Structure 1
Amino acid sequence: MAATSEIFDLVGLGFGPANIAISGAITEAWKENPDFPIKSTLFIEKHEVFRWHPGMLLPGARMQISFMKDLATLRNPGSPYTFLSYLHSEGRLLSFINRGGTVPTRKEYSDYLTWASKKVQENGINVKFGHEIVDLEEGTEDTILVRYKNNRTGEETVVRARDLVISPGGLPKVPDFLAPFQNHPRVRHSSGYATSIGAIFESLSSVTRPLRVAVIGSGQSAAEVTMDVRNRLGSIPIDGEGRHTVEMLIRKGSLKPSDDSPFANEIFDPAATERCFNAPSKRLRDAVLEEYRATNYGVVNPLTLDALYEIVYDQRLNAQVARRTQTAEPSEPIIDIRTYTAVDSVKIMGDDKIAPPVDLLLTPIPNTNTSGKETFQLTLRNLATAAVTVESYDIVLYATGYQRQAWVNLLKHTGISKHFGLSPVTRKVNLRPTTDLATTEDYAVPASPIESDSPVTTSAQTSPPTSPETSMWGSAQFEAELCPDLFLTRQYRLLPKASQDGKALVPRIYLQGVEEATHGLSDTLLSVLGVRAGEVIADLSNRK
């Protein structure tokens, strides 16, 4: 292990859009104010190079937001890190204007983020790619010891941080019925679709019968994956009759359009963040999140819906023409949308053996058989009629969203976990705004020049759901360890608990991209990156 006494004013976990936006704000502050207190930075990123959703960089896929909701424009329109600055530096500004519209393709936005990641490094931001934080401990001189390792060599290094910003991004949300099979080479979350689908089809190259693909999910990613995999299936020959099939399995009665109308889009404005944080109760915050779910969750952009419906309509047309003229239908793959459909269980069939159902599996299925002979047997239940059917598929793709608890799994095993009431048994945390604090006796509540003027209010404390373990132990303390409440300031600072001697952890820890419950729908998205970065940097610069 390489030990060093080097102290960084700010160490960041992850180097995705959130921390690139923060890096840009820092480099701008360096130019404007020579006395800016954050003078040294280090960001630690586990990937070898910058990458942004490579698994969903599908041909023609477009962003869902205006290019002006970039890393910096809403914070500083004159920033060198805006999307317009990127276009100008790449010589495409006029071409983008002539193209019309304000929504770039996903490919172009990914390139913009790559450009910005390089630019902040050129301007003095230090980044360690291919490294990962493995532990955090209390250090001397009011610092945190950050232990990170080189993912290739395993070599560990320790540095000290005055403050820490955690931007972990999201991890695939795996349905329980697929958890034992998530490492199977023909089961993939949409986040890894584009980077793995070629190899998946290659593993099935010896199969000459029609292939069947299941796509689980009803949102934008599910719709895009469905259309893309259909296009790819069109180039795979079949020996004999039949057609390749892509089946969307959705729990709803139909695919729903996303609400991107102007008034609804105001839920992503910085003012909406302020309203959410200062809402008088958790119940009201949850109600607002539920009211606006149709802007982001389980919905499909209307243009994508139109394209998908056109495919389905053309299939119906072809079928009716073929029946009337008594001719063969085209051999192109078909899309079938199975509505009100839930997946009850999954088995692997093939090679004269059946894998046990999910509820009998204690560990994931090992990645052993890639011959293409096996299939996945899904037990499907119609939620409207309760009818049960069993279907076989060669590939299972799932677009079921993301979970954002990875930072909890890191912190709970570190030396600073005690400052936040975390322990190795913690399953998840309930993030709450500091305005929910009934008392400040147990927390070190900071004063900030940009803290909301709203007074601290008391709201009903919502108990986390009772688990079998808590019922067994009958202990409220144990329940609190499983699902503790953690509090965040308006400036995204995680509030430590005061120790028995009245002292709290001095280094500050900020969270990025995981605070939907406290800061609203925009927090996990790109909409407020620039504004949020400015707020975090302003709070960081007020170190006492």
Structure 2
Amino acid sequence: MVSITQTPDRDQVFDVIGLGFGPSNLAIAGAMVENTSSAQHIPLDKVLFIEKHDEFRWHPGMLIPGASMQISFLKDLATLRSPQSPITFVSYLHSQNRLIDFINRGSTIPSRKEYSDYLSWAARYVQDKGVGVAYSEEVVALSDAEEGIVEVHSRSLTTGHHIVRRAKNLIISPGGSPRMPDSMEALKESPRILHSSTYLWSIAPLMKMLQASKAAREPLRIAVLGSGQSAAEVLLDLHSRLSAIPTTSRHELDMIIRQGSLKPSDDSPFANEVFNPASTGVMFGLPDASARRAVRAEYKGTNYGVVSPRTLEMLYELLYDQKLEDDIARRKNCTRDLSEPCITLRPNTNVVSAQIQAVAGSPSEVPHSTGEVISVTYQNNLTRQVSGQTYDAIICATGYERQSWLRLLTASNVGKHFGVESAIPTGVQLAAEAEKIDDDLELPELTFDATSTATDGASTPSTVSVPSTPPTSPGTSSSLLMHEKSTLSSKLYISRNYRLVPVSKEGPLSGSDFRPRIYVQGCEEETHGLSDTLLSVLGVRAGEVVADLYQPEVGA
């Protein structure tokens, strides 16, 4: 298809363009709708969000029946910031005439399906109020148009047209992109390899394909990679699906995890305080990278590579019943019920390599996706013993990477205003402004790398928060992101209120002539805390970003 460039009237300049329209930017839109009466508000017809999906979607691939949220409904798009907001979860329930029924449930935790519907409802609400959303468009580039303007280049996914829009300010909320393990990267296009982010809409076609590629009633063997909530939910759902497929012997389900056992998420009251809005300011204000690193390490069990206690109980009960049935069949010397798949947990196991292997004797006329298995080599992390297994399919519940925004910035001439050049690689680390910025700077452990890194086991992309009295000027508080390659380095600063800080030859905070404000959300866990990629303080962060956006520049 020939690309046609559509450039709107150069006189049309948006005050704000948001890149992405997931929960983070939806919360921004809601905060803007609430502030239309303020003196400094931005007209809603001057606001546009660009979203690659054809409608608002939130984790559609993981809306598994029975899956619940891990947070209270009060941690919605607005309640912690403004309980009277029209886009609270309570407002949603009231509008759907389900408020009393929800109360009667006796739980503050909604199902994932209901929370997804709530977010879709809120998206329709802000659009009805005048917020613009360009769906089915993918942002492909940024460029500095000078005169205080940034050009946003996008590609229509329906027509292929290249569209250029102009904006005074940007809010970048990239969310997470599915991360595949290095051992699976070369196979990710195979229909036998799925990421959990696409599980719900991909699993039925996959199961149909697998059955078609097998002899009648031949058992299936499927592996799930990961040790977090998504992995456990996928395993339970696969168990249910395989139980409905007749077989001559038991289907097999392996769960491959690198750690020694599945571990419960720490959702105790004191541990959960790390997600309080005030904790963001505390984290940001710590004196050095090692202190922030220690906090993240201490509270890692609240989110990464862990499973909710309720889900763990369900899985353990299933495994216990499996052992019971095996023992009964052995004692009675009878055939075990074949309808229930056999689950095997493989702890302390690292997948070394994987390759597609043709099954000997498969008919040559069958589609390429049939007559194959995935040959996996893995190693025990403790004994170092190497072994292997073949699988009909593998589901990777291995988290997300969050550096698309950085690649976009470094590939543009906008990056130079922040001390980032396209020649500098996209690995990034963060440290605080208060630390000494020199060659001896101790950098934090977590690295965003455009080629491989990610949040292991993270299942919920989203957001962050801020203190009750945040600084309104990036000059008063900022953090540093450092790019390194041998002797080459550049520094990227971000304010407490999530605004990237331009630099000049004299350094950051010293009066750059670059006027557009660029904010990023969901990418600053090192400086803003563990809640940065979660939903916990979504509404509070949105309010702080909008307040900073509306704040007049000093000297303006």
Give the TM-score, by structure 2 length.
Answer: 0.86
Q: Structure 1 CA distance, aligned partners of 2:173 and 2:481? A: 27
> What amino acid does structure 2 have at the position aligned with 1:220?
Q
Is 1:102 the counterpart of 2:122 in the alignment?
no
Paired residue secondary structure (1:7): coil
Partner of 1:397: 395
Q: Structure 2 CA distance, aligned partners of 1:345 and 1:255? A: 23
Q: Structure 1 CA distance, aligned partners of 2:255 and 2:57? A: 28
Partner of 1:24: 30
Matches within 5 A, 1:178-257: 178-206=184-212, 207=214, 208=216, 209-238=218-247, 240=248, 242-257=249-264
Tell me if structure 2 keeps the 8 A contact 1:61–1:106: yes
CA shift at 1:96, angstroms?
0.3
Tell me if structure 2 keeps the 8 A contact 1:430–1:486: no
Closer/same/farther in 2, CA of residues 337 and 70 from structure 1, 3 Å limit: same
CA shift at 1:236, angstroms?
1.5
> What amino acid does structure 1 have at the position aligned with 2:408?
L
Paired residue secondary structure (1:205): helix
Stretch moving more, 145-154 or 499-508: 499-508
Paired residue secondary structure (2:374): strand
Give the counterpart of 2:487 among 455, 470, 476: 476
CA shift at 1:351, angstroms?
4.7
Closer/same/farther in 2, CA of residues 416 and 455 from structure 1, 3 Å limit: closer
Q: Structure 2 CA distance, aligned partners of 1:536 and 1:17? A: 14
Stretch moving more, 3-12 or 523-532: 3-12
Tell me if structure 2 keeps the 8 A contact 1:434–1:456: no
Matches within 5 A, 1:477-516: 477=488, 480=489, 484-498=490-504, 503-516=512-525
Closer/same/farther in 2, CA of residues 462 and 84 from structure 1, 3 Å limit: closer
Give the counterpart of 2:345 among 327, 337, 340: 337
Closer/same/farther in 2, CA of residues 378 and 196 from structure 1, 3 Å limit: same
Partner of 2:21: 15
Q: Structure 2 CA distance, aligned partners of 1:212 and 1:47? A: 33
Deviations 1:213-256 (A, max 9, x none): 01111110000001101111111222x3x210110001111100
Partner of 1:349: 357
Q: Structure 2 CA distance, aligned partners of 1:343 and 1:213? A: 14
Give the paired residue count.
505
Closer/same/farther in 2, CA of residues 204 and 454 from structure 1, 3 Å limit: closer
Is 1:2 the counterpart of 2:13 in the alignment?
no
Closer/same/farther in 2, CA of residues 458 and 266 from structure 1, 3 Å limit: closer
Closer/same/farther in 2, CA of residues 436 and 81 from structure 1, 3 Å limit: farther
Is 1:383 the counterpart of 2:381 in the alignment?
yes
Q: Structure 2 CA distance, aligned partners of 1:371 and 1:250? A: 27
Paired residue secondary structure (1:505): coil
Paired residue secondary structure (1:69): coil
Partner of 1:422: 421
Q: Which runs of 5+ in 2 are unaligned?
A: 439-468
Tell me if structure 1 keeps the 8 A contact 2:180–2:188: yes
Deviations 1:171-194 (A, max 9, x none): 112111111001111101111111
CA shift at 1:307, angstroms?
0.1
Tell me if structure 2 keeps the 8 A contact 1:277–1:435: no
Tell me if structure 2 keeps the 8 A contact 1:246–1:336: yes
Partner of 2:285: 278
Q: Which runs of 5+ in 1 are unaligned?
A: 355-367, 440-448
Q: Structure 2 CA distance, aligned partners of 1:455 and 1:353? A: 69
Tell me if structure 2 keeps the 8 A contact 1:433–1:490: no
Matches within 5 A, 1:74-473: 74-206=80-212, 207=214, 208=216, 209-238=218-247, 240=248, 242-331=249-338, 332-352=340-360, 370-420=368-418, 421-436=420-435, 438=437, 450-451=470-471, 470=485
Paired residue secondary structure (1:343): strand
Q: Structure 1 CA distance, aligned partners of 2:400 and 2:367? A: 28
Partner of 2:466: none
Paired residue secondary structure (1:79): coil
Paired residue secondary structure (2:15): strand
> What amino acid does structure 2 have at the position aligned with 1:276?
M
Partner of 1:445: none
Deviations 1:448-469 (A, max 9, x none): x83189997999x99878xxxx
Tell me if structure 2 keeps the 8 A contact 1:269–1:528: yes
Tell me if structure 2 keeps the 8 A contact 1:438–1:457: no
Closer/same/farther in 2, CA of residues 511 and 342 from structure 1, 3 Å limit: same
Tell me if structure 1 keeps the 8 A contact 2:482–2:491: no
**How much is the aligned-residue C-alpha RMSD, in angstroms?**
2.4
Closer/same/farther in 2, CA of residues 276 and 388 from structure 1, 3 Å limit: same
Closer/same/farther in 2, CA of residues 296 and 195 from structure 1, 3 Å limit: same
Deviations 1:133-168 (A, max 9, x none): 222112243111122221111212222111100000
Tell me if structure 2 keeps the 8 A contact 1:430–1:485: no
Tell me if structure 1 keeps the 8 A contact 2:472–2:551: no
Paired residue secondary structure (1:139): strand
Closer/same/farther in 2, CA of residues 220 and 153 from structure 1, 3 Å limit: same
Closer/same/farther in 2, CA of residues 495 and 123 from structure 1, 3 Å limit: same
Give the TM-score, by structure 1 length.
Answer: 0.88
